[in-house]
Chains A and B, each alone.
Chain A
């Protein structure tokens, strides 16, 4: 689908995260109520995990969900809620029991209806100049206890299961409008069209040498995902490595590649989307900025380094 430039799937969060979570951990009532409308895209879903003050440190979520009879009263804010303006429901991680000994205890997981009074969705303008994310603010929003997934106070376990679904999909894809998926081949094609010093950029040996690095890295990614499926070829000391490192290397690769495409444009690199003379419509400039959604979203590259170091190499925290 990405090859054919199919746009960002509108119910990505419903299909990839909310749906599997409901199927694995939700009640029978949840399954009856939600699954069909996820599959037919009747109801769009969004995700309420990150908070303005707690991005990568998800377990530290401070958004409150205070019990009041058979309801919870939600107060606080969530950020990076893609699709928030369209969504009917949100998978929400909020703190129902304050002051627990561990920050992970006390969190609860809800399937929160977005039309609840007291929920306000504020669009966020991205570095690209476009809209795609939102901030969601909760002010005394009352949601029924039937929206709980799992036990009250055990929401972290549910969230971890969701994150496993997220890392299985391409990281940061919910980052909004990453509709352009590209490869080194596209940059090579572009460098045939770009002139540098009167010749196609592709004829410059320095350009070729840099493109070669990207071709090698691109194959590293493709071949490692092939090898990941052959159990006997996994490195015995760390069989999980091939699966777990893809997000870090892949997202950084895309960021470097998109920026290199911009660099190649030389004298035209400063023209952006909307200018009739922009190279390939300024898509590379946009892609170079959008690429950060994947190096930051779904756990920043720095956090990914920690995760790989600690969980795969068993290095001390």
Chain B
């Protein structure tokens, strides 16, 4: 297990998608726009969302028969890394993950009804996975579903439900008879059950969802596949996508620092000439480069995600990006001196994003514990 069994793969198609994503997000998300959206209730614009849908990126990992592009995680991370570079906050990750839960666990009818809408961006999706007790494991669910008449009654609560306020459909994970089960809720069913959370990353829209007494029909349950397997896939993909964002974000934090070191003078010299700043900046660069290597390796192996080498790759990539994005943004603040302490300085936006990502879909300790199990049995 310790020996790497796979290799980084790269396709021409991936290159083209990457090129267009890099220039799209660079043009559409200058920092002024990102900052404007911090105060926007939804955190994105309708036009921006429509464009992302038209480019086909929402359906990247959805098969062609359901309106998607039938591509792999490699292509997907090539879009999400530049999103991370520009601190893009849209329901992209939420919608992508909802699509994957549907794909892995939905019935044929559920898939053909809902996946094309998610793939085109016509519908916004989200997933309710995490709970206030804070466990990261996909099967540690305290929210429950009880059979009642022709359907189910749900209870419990969910936290960090991304973009729930704008979601047209939301997949929620609950215990049903001692095993995880998945239910698809519609936007109107969420009415009065959401509270927007005040979170560290101001580009995100995250919600608490109160499930107590929510009645759903029997057709709400996803019945086409093993719910636990689907949840594991979804958690792993969530970790991979946050890793991709972090790799992009860490690079931006580094570039911000480098820019400042080349323009700011103190004691009569550009501060970048001081080794006390130069050397740690180089260390941040090395960390960013390594993170990108782990990311593209994990993405290359992801489509065969089976709990072996692919699991090692994702968890290691997540651990690496957790720490390197934190380090790059932490140094960005410190090396901007007094400016770095202000909300006006973009270093802080990256720092907050680094923290959000670090504690989304498994923090460092969680993944390290698994890596210990996987690598040193």
Contacts and interface: CB of A to CB of B under 8 A. Distances in A.
B270 interface: yes
B286 A248 contact: yes
Nearest to A304: B282
Given A219-B294, A241-B285, A316-B270, A227 B8 contact: yes
Contacts of B297: 219, 223, 226
A216 B371 CA distance: 10
A302 B280 CA distance: 11
Interface string A271-311: 00000000000000000000000000000001001101110
Interface residues of B, number: 43
Contacts, number: 122
Given A233-B296, A314-B262, A188 B10 contact: no
A32 interface: no
B98 to A, nearest CB: 29
Given A233-B8, A308-B285, A313-B285, A227 B251 contact: no
Nearest to B265: A316
Interface string B65-88: 000000000000000000000000
B276 to A, nearest CB: 11
Contacts of B270: 316
A189 to B, nearest CB: 10
Q: Determine the main DSSP class of B at the interface with A.
A: helix
B59 interface: no
A202 B2 CA distance: 14
B32 interface: no
Contacts of B258: 313-315
B7 interface: yes
Interface stretch (A45-53, A139-147, A206-214): A206-214
A220 B293 CA distance: 7
A185 interface: yes
Contacts of B255: 237
B320 interface: yes
Max count, chain B CB within 10 A of own CB: residue among A188, A215, A216, A302: A216
A315 B272 contact: yes
B230 interface: no
B291 to A, nearest CB: 8
Interface string B10-39: 100011001000100000000000000000
A313 B8 contact: no
Given A212-B371, A220-B294, A232-B10, A184 B376 contact: no
Contacts of A313: 258, 281-282, 285
A127 interface: no
B196 interface: no
A305 B272 contact: no
Contacts of A220: 290, 293-294, 320
A224 interface: yes
A317 interface: yes
A310 B255 CA distance: 14
Contact of B372 (A184, A212, A312): A212
Interface string B359-377: 0000000001001100110
A215 B372 CA distance: 10
A215 B278 contact: no
Interface of A: 184-185, 188, 202, 205, 208-209, 211-212, 215-216, 219-220, 222-224, 226-227, 230, 232-233, 235-238, 241-242, 245, 248-249, 302, 305-306, 308-310, 312-317
The 5 A-B pairs of least Cβ separation, nearest first, read A223-B293, A220-B290, A315-B272, A309-B278, A224-B293
15 contacts: A216-B316, A216-B320, A223-B4, A223-B296, A226-B293, A227-B292, A232-B14, A241-B285, A249-B286, A306-B275, A313-B281, A315-B258, A315-B272, A316-B261, A317-B273
Given A211-B376, A241-B289, A308-B282, 13 more contacts: A209-B372, A215-B2, A216-B319, A226-B297, A230-B10, A233-B8, A305-B278, A305-B283, A308-B285, A310-B278, A312-B285, A313-B282, A316-B273
